[in-house]
Structure 1
Amino acid sequence: MKLVFYSLILNNHQANVADELWKLTRHSYCFVELANLQAEHRKGDSHDYSDRPYLLRAWQSEEAYSQAMELVHTAECCVFSGIQALTFQKERMRLGLLSFDMSERWLKRGILNLFSPAILKMFLSYHFGGWSKKPLYKLCCSAFASEDQHKLFTYRGRCYKWGYFTRVEKIDVETFPDVSTSNITPLMWCSRYLMLKHPELPVLMARQLKNKGYRFMLDMYGSGEYEIQTRQLAKELDVEDVICFMGIKPNNELLNDMRRHCIFLFTSDKNEGWGAVANESMTNGCVLVASDGIGSSPYLVKDKQTGLLFTSPQTSSSFGHPDIAALNSLCSKVEFLLDNPCECKKIRQHSIALMQELWNPRIAAERLLTLIDHLQKGKDTPFVEGPCSKA
């Protein structure tokens, strides 16, 4: 077996790259699923991946678990993700064989995260297992992951850009309707209504834009514990005429809806890991206006080139005490797009091109195999940007 991934669950975050690796390795690839989890852990994806020929469910039987452990000994390269993979990773490191650890950032809450049992176990395994002297490297599914590792004296100089890769179709940019020049500009927000997603910010933004006379419509998709409060805030601020609460839709319908919107608002704070909706919105023709604290934002967005970045809200931002600096930054970025429809169109074209040409499952899979080949030969990555470049 050329390459084996060990991860919690096969979902839409992993399956697209896995499909490509299966093809590119000529079926010498395996994804080891480590837990039998419910639908809520599939990140909104209801697809059944049980028929994938490369899938090995280690949780199903003792025989499957033994097969997964055997692959630790025989694979050319292994990728380990999460605390559930630690037993396999320790055995692989005991053997001193080429491997990657894959994760989002470890220190979302700063050094307090070291008191997390899972992170502490991985931290101690690295330092007391002598892993710094082994052929072990880091795939960073967050632009902040390498900085966290540097602070912890782990994977220093061994971090590479990675992420979650949603499906990217080859679609002609000219086929998208030019919504940027319409009289009423359609904006979109799509997420669970959780505090880390800060649904208060787009509603407060809507009031500011409305008061300044901008013509727009904000469609908010999703559900969650703070949906009622969000609706109430919209009513209190008298913006129900410019906000439409769309509820929940299947993923394929959401992707189609993205193509009918001009701007996508991604308002999460630093507790957002990667944020695959960033990939999806950019792929489907939205100009992404994203918090600069989201894991994918610095990788995907060059400000006013492939999207716009606004100041991340503090984690304390709430309905009663919103982060005014973040709100003003968000409003400023959206106003720029509304005031400059030609620039908006250019950014839209560049973001689609970025996804089609660089941040997609096929390129990621090809680059990972190239990186493995280079490391086996004692060389470093040949890539200067995008997946598998130095983080």
Structure 2
Amino acid sequence: MKFLFVSNYINHHQIPLCEAIMRIIGDENFIFVQTQPMEEERVRMGWGVDVSSLTYLKIYDNDKIFTLNAINDFDVVMLGWTENDEVRGACLKRADSGKLLLRMSERIYREGQWKAISPKGLISKYKEHIRFRNKKVYMLCNGAYVASDFALIGAYPNKMFRWGYFPEYREYTKEQMRNMKRMEDNKTPRILWAGRFMDGVKHPEFALELAAYLKEKNYSFHIDVVGDGEMGDDLHYYVDENRLTDVVTFHGFLPPSRVRQMMEEAHIYLFTSNNLEGWGAVVNEAMNAGCAVVAGSMAGAVPYLIKDGENGYIYNAEDLQSFLNKAEDLVRHPSKQQKFGNNAYNTITSLWNSNIAARRLIDFCTAMLKDKEYIVPNDGPMSYAPIIKPYINPEK
């Protein structure tokens, strides 16, 4: 099987999946084509990848002829996000010819499903998605609300599957986990927030509101905040003004490896992004590191990865009080931190990881290429994507 993965650029969240696919079909049968350079902000965040070290990676501008030929000739083409019209056009031409094409997408109406009524938008969606209802084109949904968006326009009926991003996952013994979290002697929960300080998207201010809330109630805790961005000055001012410097530490941007280490040491992870966050790979990473995650219901990864009250907490939309209540409950009950963290770790290592995703993906492709039935799993990657109307409300 010759497998071509086309997307805007490769990053540390995609490499594990690429390598897992290669372990199944052979290194010589897999190519990733990067269609554009990574944004400078993400490079500053430590997302940059030494592309020269990846033997399976090609840069579109350097390998146009190869890429366009491969889009036509390879057995499987998986198309992620790209702004390159030439590449996207070649992929749609492939789909027109009846060849297998996998689309991988985050939400198309993340700003609101009311946008689906736009005549101009519907024409565009017809050309790129709806007209392939009866072709060998399938949608891998990078987020729990993606299927709802596409169902709204009648695209991909019975052809949408749960998918996502699959960053590196690690396996720990129980003893390693206990030592990382210092479970025996640590009475002060370490709470972590990491991301860009993006106004109206990431809500880093929620972490600081939590610090003020918990301090006023005399809880013992410490919050580490990793990241930077447009809200930086306001966030630092809030901490100083509310005398939170003893319970909040700002770290700026750190390399992904250091952030991962901090997740391993943390007991609680706060994920406060709203609907403009397509997936949220930090949720995978924090769960794999054994954190009890408190996450908003609007981001794509959350309903797929977290079962509220079992392996984490989901709070309602952008409801600050809902967030504070659930975070406080974890701080108050260390046993829940441990229970949720253990269950979260098991969710990643037993289901939502690159090895399982790659195996199921290749099984699916093999079945489609041979016109055979694909036995759809009940949950996890490559299970049917349920139509979940935005947004789930864990309070109901």
TM-score by length of 2: 0.89
1:258–1:2: structure 2 CA closer, same or farther, 3 Å change rule? same
Question: Which of 352, 357, 367 pairs up with 2:350?
Answer: 357
| Structure 2 partner of 1:253 | 258
- Residues in 1 aligned to 2:375 and 2:112: alpha-carbon distance in whole angstroms: 29
SS in 1 for 2:169: coil
SS in 1 for 2:33: strand
SS in 2 for 1:218: strand
**Partners of 2:212 and 2:244 within 8 A in 1:** yes
SS in 2 for 1:204: helix
What letter matches 1:77 in structure 2?
Answer: V
- Residues in 2 aligned to 1:244 and 1:41: alpha-carbon distance in whole angstroms: 22
- Residues in 2 aligned to 1:9 and 1:274: alpha-carbon distance in whole angstroms: 16
- Residues in 2 aligned to 1:104 and 1:44: alpha-carbon distance in whole angstroms: 23
| Shift in Å, 1:88 | 2.1
- Residues in 1 aligned to 2:214 and 2:325: alpha-carbon distance in whole angstroms: 10
1:207–1:127: structure 2 CA closer, same or farther, 3 Å change rule? closer
Question: Which of 109, 112, 123 pairs up with 1:110?
Answer: 112
Question: Which of 296, 305, 314 pairs up with 1:309?
Answer: 314
**Partners of 2:96 and 2:135 within 8 A in 1:** no
Question: Which of 187, 190, 193 pairs up with 2:194?
Answer: 190
| Structure 2 partner of 1:345 | 338
| Structure 2 partner of 1:389 | 383
**Partners of 1:381 and 1:389 within 8 A in 2:** no
1:227 aligns with 2:232: yes
1:74 aligns with 2:73: yes
Matches within 5 A, 1:48-197: 48-60=50-62, 64-82=63-81, 83-84=83-84, 85-111=87-113, 123-126=125-128, 130-176=131-177, 177=179, 178-179=181-182, 182-195=186-199, 196-197=201-202
- Residues in 1 aligned to 2:214 and 2:320: alpha-carbon distance in whole angstroms: 11
Question: Residues 35-81 of structure 1: CA distance to partner in whole angstroms, max 9, x if unpaired?
Answer: 23444356741331333222122212xxx211111112221111112
Identity percentage over the alignment? Answer: 28
- Residues in 1 aligned to 2:229 and 2:198: alpha-carbon distance in whole angstroms: 6
**Partners of 2:163 and 2:382 within 8 A in 1:** yes
What letter matches 2:23 in structure 1?
Answer: K
1:155–1:19: structure 2 CA closer, same or farther, 3 Å change rule? same
| Shift in Å, 1:192 | 0.8
Q: Flag structure 1 segments of 5+ consecutive residues without an equivalent.
A: 314-325
1:351–1:66: structure 2 CA closer, same or farther, 3 Å change rule? same
| Shift in Å, 1:138 | 0.2
1:356–1:48: structure 2 CA closer, same or farther, 3 Å change rule? same
- Residues in 2 aligned to 1:15 and 1:152: alpha-carbon distance in whole angstroms: 32
| Shift in Å, 1:379 | 2.0
1:345–1:78: structure 2 CA closer, same or farther, 3 Å change rule? same
- Residues in 1 aligned to 2:42 and 2:205: alpha-carbon distance in whole angstroms: 25
| Structure 1 partner of 2:15 | 15
1:21–1:208: structure 2 CA closer, same or farther, 3 Å change rule? same
| Shift in Å, 1:144 | 0.7
Question: Which of 294, 297, 302 pairs up with 2:299?
Answer: 294
Q: Is 272-281 or 32-41 further displaced after alignment?
A: 32-41
- Residues in 2 aligned to 1:158 and 1:206: alpha-carbon distance in whole angstroms: 44
| Shift in Å, 1:179 | 4.5
Question: Residues 182-209 of structure 1: CA distance to partner in whole angstroms, max 9, x if unpaired?
Answer: 3221111111111111111111121111
**Partners of 2:72 and 2:90 within 8 A in 1:** no
What letter matches 1:4 in structure 2?
Answer: L
SS in 2 for 1:12: coil
Question: Which of 362, 368, 373 pairs up with 1:379?
Answer: 373
| Shift in Å, 1:214 | 1.3
1:23–1:333: structure 2 CA closer, same or farther, 3 Å change rule? same
What letter matches 1:10 in structure 2?
Answer: I
- Residues in 2 aligned to 1:29 and 1:121: alpha-carbon distance in whole angstroms: 34
1:122–1:167: structure 2 CA closer, same or farther, 3 Å change rule? farther
What letter matches 1:65 in structure 2?
Answer: K
RMSD of aligned Cα (Å): 2.2
| Shift in Å, 1:247 | 1.7
**Partners of 1:290 and 1:309 within 8 A in 2:** yes
Q: Flag structure 2 segments of 5+ consecutive residues without an equivalent.
A: 386-396
| Structure 1 partner of 2:268 | 263
**Partners of 1:381 and 1:388 within 8 A in 2:** no
Number of residue equivalences = 375
What letter matches 1:93 in structure 2?
Answer: A
SS in 1 for 2:352: coil
- Residues in 1 aligned to 2:303 and 2:244: alpha-carbon distance in whole angstroms: 31
- Residues in 2 aligned to 1:74 and 1:199: alpha-carbon distance in whole angstroms: 46
| Shift in Å, 1:381 | 4.2
**Partners of 1:268 and 1:312 within 8 A in 2:** no
| Structure 2 partner of 1:321 | none
SS in 2 for 1:370: helix
Q: Is 344-353 or 170-179 further displaced after alignment?
A: 170-179
| Structure 1 partner of 2:393 | none
SS in 2 for 1:264: strand
SS in 1 for 2:299: coil
1:278 aligns with 2:283: yes
**Partners of 1:375 and 1:381 within 8 A in 2:** no
1:199–1:117: structure 2 CA closer, same or farther, 3 Å change rule? farther
